[in-house]
Structure 1
Amino acid sequence: MATKVIHAIYTDDDVLLDAVKKVRAAKYTIKEVFTPFPVHGLDKAVGIEPTRIAIASFLYGLLGLTVAVVMMNYIMIVDWPQDIGGKPSFTFIQNMPAFIPIMFELTVFFAGHLMVITFYLRSKIWPFRKAENPDLRTTDDHFLMEIEVHGEETELLKLLSNTHASEVKVVEPLKILG
């Protein structure tokens, strides 16, 4: 673990993206980048691997579809079959056109709600948790790149001054309990 980190603050997202690419090309470790809005291409520039969130969403949707089919089959066919509009409920397949809206809605419901829960758990966003943002300006209009220092402080400061950073400062990293 690094004993110090450097905070480089930028006022433009394109300048930040170019700076991230230069810092990564120089083989420095970028600990985190704080932005007020998503920056297209930043995840690849920082070196973050693609997530498996789409697979999780698909599985959650399948779970919702399964719950819908089992629930409707039990309620409408097994437990209390009814003769609605002269159409008896003998099998699930005969009544499937009437069940399609319910299957769709529960698929979307499960996928949406379980994705939100997964996002909160994966991001470790708990109720009443304190923010880990090192500079409040990054919630408004500034961008901050946090770089670990491993003894090459002067070279890194020189590199960051060439990337058009509006501010560069060396700070001690905060010990935040998760």
Structure 2
Amino acid sequence: MNRALVVIDVQESFRRLPDWHLASQPDIVGQVNRLVDLARAQDDLVVWVLGARAGSGTVFDPALGHVRLMDGLDPAADEPVLVKSAHNAFTTTNLHQLLTRRGVRELTVCGIKTEQCCETTTRVAADLGFDVTFAIDATATCPIPDPSGGPSLGVADIIERTRYALSGRFATVRTVGELTGAAVR
């Protein structure tokens, strides 16, 4: 096993946010499960990561009960579930050590939010020497308000910007169909 699927922040917290109805990929659970099925079929490691902000009083505060995987996601008993408090999945967890111990050199990244935790994890992973595939349609984001009061940046623009920023620099960007289709050939 030298590959791993890293599922980032696909958690109920996001469904509690007021803008979740504007999410780019409302069926993210279905897309993630396609990647999980592929990873398990190939005997790849699946790592689940949850984002938490203890004591924040927000939907990311574990005390409120929303820091848990979205309904429909079911980690196997031997699949690690890590909890992070940083934007990337490495800084506040033992993810790097876990992957290194298992000889993992290739990662597929998916989850929520496309441009935030998923992209940041991808960049850090590339800096650490991992070969990263970014499953762009197994990520989700919501519009980002303009801090200057102008129009929000829409989800299509966010996803396209992420594709441009990561492709050929930090990751190979693929769709779930490309990844699952390549596996069955």
- TM bracket (short chain): under 0.3
Which structure has the higher relative contact order (CA within 8 Å, separation 6+)?
A: 1
| TM-score, normalised by the number of residues in structure 2 | 0.23
Of structures 1 and 2, the larger Rg is shown by 1
